[in-house]
Amino acid sequence: MNSCQSLGVGLAGFGTVGAGVWSALRTHAPLVAERSGGRIELTVTRILVRDPAKPRNLPSPPSAELLTTDWRELVDDPSVDIVVELIGGTTTAFDIVAAALKARKPVVTGNKALLAERGAELFDLSRRHETPIHFEAAVAGGIPIIRALQESFIGNRILSITGIINGTSNYILDRMTDAGITFEAALAEAQALGYAEADPSLDVDGRDAAHKALLLATLAYGFPIDPSQIDVNGIQQVKPSDIRFAKSLGYVVKLLAVIREHPDGAVEVRVQPSFIARSNILASVHGVFNAVAVVGDGVGESVFYGHGAGAHPTASSVVADLAEAARALRCPSGHRGFLPYRSNGRVLPAGDTSTASYVRFDVTDRPGVMAEVAQVLARHGIGISGTHSPVNPQNPDADFVDMIFLLHTCPLGVLRKALEEIEALDCINSTPVVFRIESLG
Q: Is residue 132 part of a domain?
A: yes
Q: Is residue 390 part of a domain?
A: yes
pLDDT reported for residue 410: 97
Q: Is residue 337 part of a domain?
A: no
The CATH number of the domain holding residue 421 is: 3.30.70.260
pLDDT reported for residue 218: 92
pLDDT reported for residue 30: 80
**Same domain membership, residue 180 and residue 76:** no
Are 163 and 216 in contact by the 8 Å Cβ rule? The answer is: yes
* CA gap 262, 259 in Å, rounded: 10
pLDDT reported for residue 334: 55
Q: Is residue 339 part of a domain?
A: no
Are 140 and 304 in contact by the 8 Å Cβ rule? The answer is: yes
Global pTM reads 0.89
**Same domain membership, residue 232 and residue 374:** no
**Quick check: helix, strand or coil at residue 284?**
helix
212 is catalytic: yes
DSSP 153: T
* CA gap 94, 125 in Å, rounded: 11
**Same domain membership, residue 156 and residue 235:** yes
**Same domain membership, residue 370 and residue 320:** no
pLDDT reported for residue 1: 45
Report CA 266 to chain centroid distance, whole Å: 21
Q: Number of folded domains in the chain? A: 3
Residue 315 makes CB contacts below 8 A (sequence gap 6+) with: 17, 20, 21, 23, 24, 137
Q: Is residue 342 part of a domain?
A: no
Q: Is residue 343 part of a domain?
A: no
Which residue in 54, 105, 112, 212 is the catalytic one?
212
**Same domain membership, residue 60 and residue 107:** yes
- CB count in 10 Å sphere of residue 250: 11
Q: Is residue 335 part of a domain?
A: no
- CB count in 10 Å sphere of residue 418: 22
pLDDT reported for residue 5: 65
**Same domain membership, residue 256 and residue 130:** no
Are 407 and 380 in contact by the 8 Å Cβ rule? The answer is: no
pLDDT reported for residue 2: 43
Q: Is residue 95 part of a domain?
A: yes
Nearest to 165 by CA among 77, 322, 293: 293
* CA gap 365, 372 in Å, rounded: 12
The residue count of the chain comes to 441
**Same domain membership, residue 387 and residue 275:** no
**Same domain membership, residue 282 and residue 322:** no
**Same domain membership, residue 370 and residue 428:** yes
**Same domain membership, residue 264 and residue 400:** no
What domain range includes position 52?
A: 6-141+311-330
Report CA 71 to chain centroid distance, whole Å: 27
* CA gap 18, 322 in Å, rounded: 13
**Quick check: helix, strand or coil at residue 428?**
strand
Nearest to 134 by CA among 14, 223, 19, 219: 219
Q: Sign of dihedral through CA atoms 244, 247, 251, 254?
A: positive
pLDDT reported for residue 58: 85
pLDDT reported for residue 142: 85
Residues of the chain with pLDDT under 70: 1-5, 36-38, 331-340, 390-400, 441
**Same domain membership, residue 265 and residue 183:** yes
**Same domain membership, residue 281 and residue 170:** yes
